[in-house]
Amino acid sequence: QKEVEQNSGPLSVPEGAIASLNCTYSDRGSQSFFWYRQYSGKSPELIMSIYSNGDKEDGRFTAQLNKASQYVSLLIRDSQPSDSATYLCAVMGSTLTFGKGTMLLVSP
Amino acid sequence: EAQVTQNPRYLITVTGKKLTVTCSQNMNHEYMSWYRQDPGLGLRQIYYSMNVEVTDKGDVPEGYKVSRKEKRNFPLILESPSPNQTSLYFCASSKTLLSAYEQYFGPGTRLTVT
């Protein structure tokens, strides 16, 4: 069974710090990787996608992918209290599989 | 406005009373799916549809049915709901399965079965 693993958290960081969220996956054939942000009681919102090894930056967000290690991460620079949410890692193999999410808490 | 709509948003029902949660998208997307989200278990796929009249089971299909008679609609049917189906349900759509980066989620339906 394809698995996507994330630390459930909460991950607590002070405002302005870098938050680092990690995800590992089991399906070596996976080709596409995504990070969703979900506020409590709301629907997931796509914030980053990455398809090849290396880093991809978009504003304060950087996604990192290492297919050999089956590892994908999300860095959030200059974390803001509004970044407090659950971050879901999703991996596309034959279907899209979600991790259980990591809760991020950014304190003012 | 491009969107996925779900109805109802909140539903409290009793065990065994058949119900349908509707899902509709206005983006001409081929791929639609249903998820349930439970504390500690994350998002789990119930059913998905690659196109009209093409549906398949996800990870947790037991107790659910779906149909895809029109491209825009993908209703979720609970023929005989049970308390273990109390959950937050999300419908999602994307242009194709391969374009999951464009996956749009509906606002969610919170279902309580007593």
Instruction: Give residue-wise pLDDT tens across range B62-112.
Output: 999 999 999 999 999 999 999 999 999 999 998 877 665 678 899 999 999
3-state secondary structure of B76: strand
- Is the Cβ–Cβ distance between A91 and A31 less than 8 Å? no
> pLDDT digit string (tens) for A26-54?
999 898 999 999 999 899 999 999 999 99
3-state secondary structure of B48: strand
Residue of A nearest to B39 (CA): A100
Q: How far apart are the C-alpha atoms of A96 and B36, rounded to whole Å?
A: 14
Residues of B in contact with A98 (CB under 8 A): 35, 42-44
Residues 26-85 of A with CB under 8 A from B: 32, 34, 41-46, 49
3-state secondary structure of A79: coil
Tokens of A95: 């279907």
Q: How far is B16 from chain A (nearest CA, A)?
A: 26
Residue of B nearest to A48 (CA): B101
> pLDDT digit string (tens) for A44-85?
999 999 999 999 999 999 999 999 999 999 999 999 999 999
- A28, B1, B31, B78 from A22: Cα distances, Å: 17, 34, 28, 36
- Is the Cβ–Cβ distance between A50 and A65 less than 8 Å? yes
